[in-house]
Amino acid sequence: MRIGPSTFAVFDVFPDGDGRDAHLSGPIAEALLGSVGTLIEQPTIEPVDVLAAKL
């Protein structure tokens, strides 16, 4: 999602903390962090919790 003119965010959803941890240590995160300095600046990873949902 776009946060600002040149600031973007990736929003991922996981069923629990273990799923989030597995994703952050997996190949997609490795590829993203491998692009630091080439394609992107150092990303900030901020885990958040969903407090409410409307289904």
pLDDT tens column, 24-35? 889 988 888 788
Q: HEC profile for 23-43?
A: HHCCHHHHHHHHCECCCECCC
d(CA 16, CA 19): 5
Average pLDDT, the chain: 83
Q: Which two tokens stand for residue 47?
A: 């885990």
Residue-number span of the structural domain to which 52 is assigned: 1-55
13-41: average pLDDT = 84
pLDDT tens column, 42-53: 777 788 888 888
Please compute the mean of the pLDDT values over residues 38-45 and round it to a whole number. 75
Between 48 and 16, the higher pLDDT residue: 16
pLDDT at residue number 18: 92
Is residue 40 a contact partner of residue 48, using CB atoms and an 8 Å limit?
A: no
Number of folded domains that form the chain: 1
